[in-house]
Each structure stands twice: as C-alpha cells, then as structure tokens.
Structure 1
Amino acid sequence: MGNRADYQTFASENSQKLASAIERGIPDTLRGMVWQLMSASKDPELEATYIRLIKETSPHEKAIMRDLGRTFPHHAFFTDGQGIGQENLFNVLKAYSLHDPQVGYCQGLPFVVAVLLLNMPDEEAFSLLVRLMHSYDLRGHFLPEMPKLQLRLFDRLIEELLPVLHLHFVRQGIKSSMFCSQWFLTLFSYRFPLEVVYRIFDNCLASGIEAIFGFALALLQQNEEKLLAVKFDDLVAFLNAQIVDTYKTEADGEAVWRTDDFVRDATALRITPFMLDTYAHEYNEMVRQRDAHLLEVDFLRRSNRNLSTQVNALEASLAQLNQEHVNILNELVKARLQSEELERELVRYKLLYAESVHKTEDALSSHRLSTSTSISNGGSSKRPSLQSMISGFTKSSSAS
C-alpha cells in the first residue's frame, strides 16, 4: 500500500479484511500514512498553499495563541512553548483560518490538529484537516446551523436505541448539547487518552465522521444504569467528567484503557447511513415547517402593521369628520337660537299688532256708542253740516 492507487485497489478487493484490520487498530508506525491513504488527502497543491499561508497574517492569531497552551499540555510534543509542536500547531491553525474564512478559528480545532500532527508533518496535517473539514463534513460541526443537525441526529439515535435513557433525560431536562458538544468538536480528543483517540480517528476516517455517534452512544449505553440512578446536577457532572471512566481499569497501579472493548461496542450498534438520512430528513422537514411558520408570522406582522396604518389614517379622518360635525352642530345651534330669537320677536310684534287692533276696535265701538246715544236723545238724524260745525266751533271759541 505504497500509494493511493494501490490502497484503493486493495480496499476494493479486500473491503471486509480491511474493515476488520482497522477495527483492531492501525499500527502506530503506519497510522499517518494510512490515514492519508484512506482520506485521499495527499495533495501537493494544498501543501504549497499551506507554505504560502503560514507567511501571511490571520485576524485569529491572538485567539490561537491563547489556546495553544491548553492543547495536550502534558504531552512532550506540545509542552515547550517554544517547541516545534506548538509552532506547527499554530501554523496549521493559522493557515486554515485563512483558507476557510467562514469557519476561521474555533475552539476544539486545536485538539483535532494536534492529533494529526502527532502522526504526520505539518503540511500533510493541513491537507488532511482540509479533507476532514470538507469531504468528511467535520466543517459542519463548526458552522452556526450544522451543529444543531448533529445534535438532533444524536437525540434521535438516543430515542431510538436507548428509549428509557432518552425519557430520563427528557424528564430531567438534560439536553445533548450539555455534554456531547466537546465530543463532536474534538472527535473525543479533549477527554480521552491518545491511544483511544487514535482508534476513534481510525474508524472516522475509514467509515465517515458519523462513526462518532457510535462511540458517543456506546458511552451512554455502558453507563445507562448509573445515569438512570441520578438527577440533573449529578447527571451533568457525570456526563462531563466521569462517563469516559467506564472503559478504564487499574493494572499494577496504572490506568489501563479497554480500547478494543470501546471500539467493539461502538461498531456493534450498527448505526446505518439510512437511519441518519431518515433523521436528517425529519430535521430538515421540521426546519422547513419552522421557516414557513416564521415567514407566515412575518407576513401577518407586516399585514398587521399595514392594517394599523390604515386604522390610524381612518381614525384621523374620523376625528376630522367629528370635528367638522361638531362645527356644523355649533352652526346649527346658533342658527336655531337666531331662529328662536326671530320667532320671539315675531310673537311680540304679533301681540303688539293684536293689542293695537284691539284698541282700534274699542275706540270704534266707543264712537258708535256715543253716536247712537245722541240720536236717541232727539238729535237730528242728519249728519251736521260743515258750516254748522264751524259756527259751533266759533261760538265755543268766543265764549271762552
């Protein structure tokens, strides 16, 4: 298996034999080469890109420097701050942050890169990292939306394969993000010893990054009784600090890891691509319905704003009409008051007229009465002549 073509030929002709060999563990001396062959990551162009990128400046350099000392601090390759291990780790992380600005730099990446650097030179580690991120979709673990899908798939696997534990987690309010995010982001390299981590990488590179689900579920399955016996606070603490100890034993006062058992338990779960595709479809459909609901809510909000604007305009028009109505009513009241005033004046004039008429009639009646009286007293029935009236008037004037 000296080159990629030889490996591909061997893998296609001896797939079962190769799978069994990988499950038993790749020899340490061959691991770096086999990883590159399995992933087809050997790429002179990418290696040349790496050489160019390490000479440039990245905006993430301070964050990378801050995390270097936290990455395998007890491993001899990384303990010396000025050593080749931390320098290579810094260079690969910086180069990738420039190569993939959308991801840039994220916590968790140093552990993945460190595992690669322990098995190959830095330029080859960079090429394999790019391959892991893009072809194996490890990149999806670091993008904003994709981790939700990974956690959703993991939740559905727990529900399907460990239903009692799933119900216990639901009742205790335990979410998978509380304990397995570090597992997925670092491919278990944050908590497990390297001898175990190497075997996990073996299987991920051979079978796909989905192999991590098997290892995660194996941990839960082997600790199910303990997990069912504790509640929220103790659950979170156990899941984050003690769950890995289930595959650790003591021999001659030293910790011994049952790596073969761990790999065997993980692969025995038989998590098929069909299962993951089904759960991914469920999740995507849920997201589609959620987005459709959000669009509908947004449409209703916009419609509500438009209706509110129309209502405000109608209320303003109504207020204006009310004011005009009030003004008209005021004018009508004034006109009515003026009409009533004129009616009162008319009534007064009618009364005065009636009184005048009445007085005239009284005067005429008195005159008729005096005339009739004089006739009855022997007076001439003839009307006095103008001459007699004047002479009478003259006599009375002389007498006086």
Structure 2
Amino acid sequence: MFRRFSKKKRTSTDRAKDYNSSRSEDQTPSTKYTYNAAEEEEFIEQMQRQNKLSMGISEQRRAIVWQAAMGGQDLYRSSEGTYAQLLLRTSVWESQIRKDVPRTLCSHPLFKDQGGSGQRVLFNVLKAYSVYDVELGYTQSMNFVAAVLLLHMTQEEAFWSLVGLLRGGELGEPLRNLYLPGLPLVNQYSFQLWRLLQEHLCDVAEHFQRHEVKTIVFAAQWFMTLFVYNLPLHVVERVWDVFVFEGVRVLFQVGLALIRYHGRALLQWDCGEIVGALARFQDMDAHVLLRLATSIRITNTQLEELRLEYWTMNKETRHMLY
C-alpha cells in the first residue's frame, strides 16, 4: 500500500493542519493507497543512472520512495493490525518518551503544540517501537528520526519505515546498533570517520589530535539523529534522499563535507570552538553540502576494511584514537 500521488505540493505545515483537525487522539490514521512498483523502480533507476539523487526527490514522491527504500512498505503490507495492537500495550519507556517528545523539532508546526496531535503521534510511534523491539526499547535521538518520518507519512507508515530503517537491510549494518547499550555502532562509525578524516583531510586530523578533539564528541549526534539535530530540515531531507539508496557511506561523505565546509578556519580554533562549530549548520545550503559530499570518494569496501580494523583492534587502543 502506497500513498497516491498528489498534483498539489503539500508542505509540512499542511500536514500539521491535518493532524490538528477533527481526528481523535486515539484514532490510527488509515487510508487507501495505490502504487505502481514498476514505475517507481524505473524512476529510481533513472535517478541513479543520471546521478540525480543528490538533486532531491520531489515532495510528491518522497514518502513513497523512502518507505520503499527503507523496507517499510513490505512490513506495512504484511503486518496489518500489528501497529494498533502494539499501541494497546504498555511500555517501560513511556515516561522517558513523554519527556523527549516535547523537545523534538519543537519549532515545527507539527510538533510545537504541547500535547498536540503531532506530539501524540510521535509518542505513539516511539512507544510502539519500544514494545516491538524489546531488546532495544527506546534511546534518545530515535525521536528525531521518527519525527522526520512523520513529516511525510501517517503514524503507521512512519512506524514500519522506522522498523525497516533500523533493521538496515540494503543500507548496511542494522542502524538499531546505534542505540543499543554502549552505542556499539556509534563507536565504530566514529572510528571509521577518524580514519577517513586522516586520509581526506590530514591537516585537520593533525589539528584535532593536537587539541584532543575526538570525533565521537561531535559525530555521535550526527549519526544517532542522522543529522536531523544538526542541519535544517530541508537539507536533512535532501541528505536522506541519497542516504536511503546509497547506504551508510553517505553518512561519512556528509560528515567529512561538514568538516570541509569550515575550511581552514578549523585550524585556527581550539577544541570547544571546533565542537561548537560542528554541532549546528543552520545556514547550510543543500546543494553546496551534497556537492561537497559527492566529491569525496568513499567505497563500501573501504568501510568494510575499517570496520574489521576496528573490531580486531585492542579495545583500549580503539578509544584512544577517536
């Protein structure tokens, strides 16, 4: 089941108005969808052939394309009624989720109203996931990822897309490992980013070493929120358009591009200034960022070699590096 194409572009403000309409709090959105799989596959292949993914997917197609790429559509279609059942159950994470929901994209029209419909559906998606994946439950930062999905989908679509995204699949390793106790994938990614920084921006890497700037200090938030906390939403959407098809190497390309964006100015800053500068990019232009990112050559083979290096290295030595 997929969202029907709309001739009129719908903005996130329009969706906020929809959520604040007469729909009751406990009613799960339910709509009928039509989808031409062959048409979408042809569209995606054409975008990839012409290297146009970095130009962005249209608002009309984004929900459909993201769901398909994340594996959410197949899960949604094969799990009718599951989401509603999950919402009926209680979760040990409800208290923490309630604390984090009001802190999530709180300036956005969909989520700005305390106890409003947007916050309620975000709570629903996160609670349902915490019940669905008992081992993981809920970790802070998942709320930002779920919120972006809700800007484009109903809560049930967003839930299954979140499940598919965290399972990994074609995107690479299961992203749920970003949020497990000890944050194993955050540590691995931070190490890989450090090695890539040494290769692509060696002068910056040397400066970071002199000032004891660890990649995990600034990059953990990048990886755990998939840049939602750090970039303007319209830029995040463009990054995700590429990420959902090209996989996790895009996260490293974007990360290096953000460091390169500051240029040689980074070499004049101390640790606190560097970490602060790499935390927020409110004036970032999506075209500039993706042009920088796609110019950085990183292969999946290279990432796999770095992954193996990380996991075969002595634990104490690992943490001294990144």
TM range, smaller chain: 0.7 to 0.9
Mapping 1:193-212, distance limit 5 Å: 193-212=232-251
Match of 1:131 in 2: 164
Q: Provide Cα deviations, 1:218-275, integer angstroms capped at 9, x if missing partner.
A: 011121311101122322333334xx25xx3xxxxxxxx4211111111111211011
Give the SS at the match of 1:78.
Answer: coil
CA 1:84 to 1:165, structure 2 compared with 1: closer, same or farther past 3 Å?
A: same
Q: Which runs of 5+ in 1 are unaligned?
A: 249-256, 292-400
Match of 1:234 among 273, 278, 281: 273
Cα displacement (A) at 1:276: 0.4
| Code of the aligned partner of 2:58 | P
| Code of the aligned partner of 2:231 | F
Distance 1:239 1:266 in 2: 15
Q: Segments of 4+ in structure 1 off by > 4 A? A: 9-14, 287-291
Match of 2:124 among 69, 88, 91: 91
Distance 1:238 1:170 in 2: 17
Match of 1:187 in 2: 226
Distance 2:303 2:60 in 1: 34
CA 1:10 to 1:158, structure 2 compared with 1: closer, same or farther past 3 Å?
A: same
Verify: 1:140 aligned to 2:167, yes or no. Answer: no
Q: Provide Cα deviations, 1:272-325, integer angstroms capped at 9, x if missing partner.
A: 10110111111122158989xxxxxxxxxxxxxxxxxxxxxxxxxxxxxxxxxx
| Code of the aligned partner of 2:57 | I
Distance 2:228 2:80 in 1: 25
Q: Which runs of 5+ in 2 are unaligned?
A: 6-34
Match of 2:311 in 1: 284
Q: Provide Cα deviations, 1:327-371, integer angstroms capped at 9, x if missing partner.
A: xxxxxxxxxxxxxxxxxxxxxxxxxxxxxxxxxxxxxxxxxxxxx
* Bigger Rg over Cα: 1
Q: Provide Cα deviations, 1:173-222, integer angstroms capped at 9, x if missing partner.
A: 11011111111111111122110110111111111133111111001112
Match of 1:264 in 2: 291
Distance 1:238 1:228 in 2: 12
Verify: 1:162 aligned to 2:189, yes or no. Answer: no
Cα displacement (A) at 1:153: 0.7
Match of 1:120 among 138, 150, 153: 153
Asked if the contact 1:47–1:126 (Cα under 8 Å) also holds between the matched residues in 2, the reply is: no
CA 1:263 to 1:12, structure 2 compared with 1: closer, same or farther past 3 Å?
A: closer
| Code of the aligned partner of 1:76 | P
Give the SS at the match of 2:258.
Answer: helix
Mapping 1:1-400, distance limit 5 Å: 2-8=35-41, 11-12=44-45, 15-17=48-50, 20-42=51-73, 43=75, 44-46=77-79, 48-135=81-168, 136=171, 137-143=174-180, 144=182, 145-241=184-280, 244=281, 248=283, 257-287=284-314
Distance 2:265 2:317 in 1: 36
Asked if the contact 2:230–2:279 (Cα under 8 Å) also holds between the matched residues in 1, the reply is: no
Distance 2:189 2:240 in 1: 18
Asked if the contact 2:122–2:150 (Cα under 8 Å) also holds between the matched residues in 1, the reply is: yes
| Code of the aligned partner of 2:103 | R
| Code of the aligned partner of 2:140 | Q
Distance 2:248 2:160 in 1: 17
CA 1:237 to 1:39, structure 2 compared with 1: closer, same or farther past 3 Å?
A: closer
Asked if the contact 1:165–1:224 (Cα under 8 Å) also holds between the matched residues in 2, the reply is: no
Match of 1:397 in 2: none
Q: Larger RCO: Structure 1 or Structure 2 (Cα < 8 Å, ≥ 6 residues apart)?
A: 2
Provide the aligned length of Structure 1 versus Structure 2.
277
State the TM-score, normalized to the length of structure 2. Answer: 0.80
Of stretches 277-286 and 106-115 in structure 1, the one that deviates more from structure 2 is: 277-286
Asked if the contact 1:78–1:85 (Cα under 8 Å) also holds between the matched residues in 2, the reply is: yes
Distance 1:97 1:71 in 2: 17
Of stretches 193-202 and 79-88 in structure 1, the one that deviates more from structure 2 is: 79-88
Structure (1 or 2) with the greater helix fraction: 1
